[in-house]
Amino acid sequence: MKDVAECPVCGQHDFLELFPSNYSGTVEQAAAFFLTDRAKAVHGRIARCARCSFVLTSPQYEPAQYDQLYREVAKVERPPGRTRAVSARYRSLADRVGAYAKSGRFLDFGCGDGHFLDHMPQFQGVGLEVRSGVAVGTNANDCRIIVGELEPAVTAGLLKPASFDFITTWDVLEHLPMLSRDVGLLRSLLKPGGFLFCSVPNVASFAAKLSGERWNCYLLEHLWYFSPTTLGAFFERQGFATRAVRPFLFPADVTTLASRVQQTYGLRLPVPKAIANWTLPLPAGVMFGAFQLKS
């Protein structure tokens, strides 16, 4: 494991510990604690930048080790269900994007099986998904889905420079070990004045403050914990102007909620079948950001 040497938000080198790691296993055992079907919610050592207060996981595994972990999780994780809750979430995000863009070509970075692309029929969508097995060639709207990693896809010319009007990336940035490099690559794919829309956990949210170390977004696979201030500062440093950063109510169904409670608190809540698919907009501490490439 390696300590983060430089703050991706302000470039400074001093970090203070917020919470010690509560994961004692090896990297080989870590896949069981990654993503939706994790055995238990655990996190690495959580630290804060002494200058800009950006919160991050440090030390982190090597990028190649994260790649390997995601490959292992993809082998056993059930395919993401197209539940009512997930549809409600994508509908809401599509509405937010629609406030800035009416037509054009976009990339959904971390597109899964293309579910969000299906919510954007008025646009020409391209998806990129690193986990093979969840993605298919094209989806209902004939959007193209590329299975692979960002850098090789850019290098091979599968994704062309300055070819997208906007990029969406939902709950992805916090997973990227090479965050600054990857956002730089995404920036190179945007046309002048193009937008990047993202959703990420908000470490300054009420949910995060109320839950402390037990906030459900402190997780082994989450490497970066933005606040509205540090998210804006990060994108400004990357050559973007902040257009909006807003809280996002996270539609979740009762079954998912009960599973998260069990992973965090070890409490098994019985979920009556009649309400298992009920969808609630939860203040889980997630935010939506809209950033525009500076000309």
What does the binding site for Zn ion look like in residue numbers (CB under 5 A)?
Answer: 7, 9-10, 12, 49, 51-52, 54
- In the bound state with Zn ion, the residue whose beta carbon lies nearer, of 125 and 201, is 201
DSSP 8-48: TTT----EEEEE-----S-TTTGGGGSSTT-SS-----EEE
> Which is closer to Zn ion, CB of 49 or CB of 111?
49
At closest approach, how far in Å is the CB of 65 from Zn ion? 24
Question: Closest approach of Cβ 201 to Zn ion, in Å?
Answer: 18
Please provide the size of the chain in residues. 295
Question: Which three-class secondary structure string do you get for 55-117?
Answer: EEECCECCHHHHHHHHHHHHHHCCCCCCCHHHHHHHHHHHHHHHCCCCCCEEEEECCCCCHHH
To Zn ion, the closest distance from the beta carbon of 9 in angstroms equals 4
Q: Is 95 exposed, middle or buried (0-12, 13-18, 19+ CB in 10 A)?
A: exposed
CB closer to Zn ion, 73 vs 179: 179
Return the number of the residue (13 or 209) whose C-beta is nearest Zn ion: 13
Query: Is 51 or 105 the residue whose CB approaches Zn ion more closely?
Result: 51
Query: Taking the complex as a whole, how short is the minimal distance between the CB of residue 8 and Zn ion, in angstroms?
Result: 8
Give the DSSP H or E segment for 154.
helix 150-155
Q: How far is the CB of 55 from Zn ion (least distance, A)?
A: 10
In the complex with Zn ion, which residue's Cβ is closer, 54 or 109? 54
CB of 290 to Zn ion, least distance (A): 22
Residue 11 Cβ vs Zn ion, minimum distance, rounded to whole Å? 7
Residue 18, classified by CB atoms within 10 Å of its CB into exposed (0-12), middle (13-18) or buried (19+), is: middle
- 8 Å CB contact between 255 and 277: yes
Question: CB-wise, 31 or 49, nearer to Zn ion?
Answer: 49
Radius of gyration, alpha carbons of the chain: 18
116: which 2 tokens? 């969000």
Distance CA 7, CA 55 (A): 9
Contacts of 262 (CB under 8 A, 6+ apart): 268, 269
Nearer to Zn ion, 180 or 277 (CB): 180
How many CA atoms, within 13 angstroms, populate the side-chain half-sphere of residue 126?
19
- In angstroms, the first-to-last Cα distance of the chain is 38
CB of 6 to Zn ion, least distance (A): 9
